[in-house]
Amino acid sequence: MRILRSLPAFMAAILLAVLPLSSPAQLSIGVGVTIGSAPPPIPVYVQPAAPYPNYQWTPGYWGWGSAGYYWTPGVWVRPPVVGLLWTPGYWGARGGGYGWNGGYWGASVGFYGGVNYGAGYYGSGFVGGAWSGNQFRYNTAVTNVNRTTIHNTYVNKTVINNHYNNSRVSYNGGRGGTTVKPTSGQITARQSGRAPTIDQKNQAQFASNDRNQYASVNKGKPTLTTSQKPFSSTNKPANSAPVTTADKQGAQNQPKSAGANAPSNKAPTTQNKPATTTQNKKPAPTTQNKKPAATTQNKKPAPTTQNKKPAPQGQKPPAGGKGKPQGGGQSKSPANNGNNKPPQH
């Protein structure tokens, strides 16, 4: 009987283990556009204490919403599966702008642009703790925990000097951004990563609906930088206010595009702005669109000895009879006949 009762739980565990990982398309958090201006620096904040064992810290980041860049507060969340770690998302320079690379869950912490998010995410890897079997051990040298509920801890201060990055820049590449590049293994890890949880998506959604979180309002220094529990209908951001029409209109004046027409982009090409060619302007004059030059086919031949009476013997022929015939078939073709190619632009 005990075996039969435990069978459903056992089968559920098996199904959870064989579920396919989310596709890369599901990993993107944002609107999928490239922004012409870089996000503000990462604000300095104090990490709240981890509320429960095995909860993972997901650092705050700048997202893009209806009124521009907004700050999504960092928060403690339960991982989708025991043993997984969170790799934060990051903004990366591309196509003359900055595109968002969404965060993901995986067996290890991968590439997140070299951005210093704090609390163990100092630009490379993660030093805030590690899994030991089914229990997560927290490094209290860099991680804040509630010691009344969490006892699986250790202290390792050496990792701070090995990984710490003093910069607070929030993007990779471009002018002033971090310069580190992902390895082939990190690229593969991102492609096979697992999408954010519902709690993480709610955190971003509620933050994007609060005008106080937008850089256009807080000047890049949000007062609400973290939350111990994810936002929900019963746990909304403190002092939240709806985004106004004026906020949205202000964001429309900021440089943004799909990357091709950003202000710092390369010179226009046929992919983002048609170059001037014979397809979009009138062709240069040729014999195909103007009257043909005068030839023996469309005007009377010049007088020669063949079409007028010969001069009397003993007299010199008239002046028109000297030299080669004018306009005859032996003369060269006009410069702009139909064989000429149109001018190249």
Output the CA–CA distances (angstroms, integers) from residue 297 to 146, 182, 290, 329, 334, in the order listed.
101, 72, 16, 9, 13
Q: Is residue 7 part of a domain?
A: no
What integer is the mean pLDDT of 150-178? 87
Residue 21 Rama label (left phi>0; alpha psi -120 to 50; beta):
beta
Q: Is residue 334 part of a domain?
A: no
Would you say residue 270 lies in a domain?
A: no
Res 30 pLDDT > 50: no
Query: How far does CA 10 lie from the centroid of its chain?
Result: 42
The predicted structure's pLDDT at residue 314: 45
Q: Tokens 């609906």 belong to which residue?
A: 209
> Which one is predicted more confidently, 87 or 339?
87
Predicted confidence (pLDDT) per residue in 42-95, tens digit: 999 999 999 999 999 999 999 999 999 999 999 999 999 999 999 999 999 988
**CA pair distance 170, 88, nearest whole angstrom:** 12
| pLDDT for 145 | 95
The residues with which 69 forms a beta bridge, in sequence order, are 64
For residue 283, how far is the Cα from the chain centroid?
39
Q: Quick check: is 320 in a domain?
A: no
| The most confident of 188-192, 219-223, 255-259, by mean pLDDT | 219-223
- Asked if residue 133 has pLDDT above 90, the reply is yes
Q: Quick check: 315 pLDDT over 60?
A: no
Say if residues 106 and 87 touch (Cβ distance below 8 Å).
yes
Q: Which three-class secondary structure string do you get for the chain? A: CHHHHHHHHHHHHHHHHHCCCCCHHHHCCCCCCEECCCCCCCCCCCCCCECCCCCEEECCEEEEECCEEEEECEEEECCCCCCCEEECCEEEEECCEEEEECCEEECCCCCCCCCCCECCECCCCCCCEEEECCEEEEECCCCCECCCCCCCEECCCHHHHHHCCCCCCCEECCCCCECCCCCHHHHHHHHCCECCCHHHHHHHHHHHCCHHHEHHHHCCCCCCCEECCCCECCECCCCCCCCCHHHHHHHHCCCEEECCCCCCCCCCCCCCCCCCCCCCCCCCCCCCCCCCCCCCCCCCCCCCCCCCCCCCCCCCCCHHHCCCCCCCCCCCCCCCCCCCCCCCC
Residue 203 lies in a domain: yes
In this model, does residue 341 exceed pLDDT 50? Answer: no
Q: Look up the domain containing 87 and give its range.
A: 26-250
Q: What percent of the chain has pLDDT over 90?
A: 55
Q: Confirm whether 185 is domain-assigned.
A: yes
Q: At 162, is the pLDDT very low, low, confident or very high (cuts 50, 70, 90)?
A: low
pLDDT of residue 197: 98
Is residue 143 within 8 A of residue 127, CB to CB? The reply is no
Q: What is the pLDDT of residue 164?
A: 61
What integer pLDDT is reported at residue 250 of this predicted model? 81
Decide: 139 and 154 in contact? Cβ < 8 Å.
yes
pLDDT at 330: 40
Look at 24 and 288; give whichever has higher pLDDT.
288
CB atoms within 10 A of CB 117: 25
Number of domains observed in the structure of the chain: 1
Asked whether residue 135 is assigned to any structural domain, the reply reads: yes
In which band, very low, low, confident or very high, does the pLDDT at 96 lie, cut at 50, 70 and 90?
confident
Mean pLDDT across the stretch 269-279? 37
Has residue 47 been placed in a domain? Answer: yes
Q: How far is CA 43 from CA 38, 71, 110, 280, in A?
A: 15, 9, 22, 50
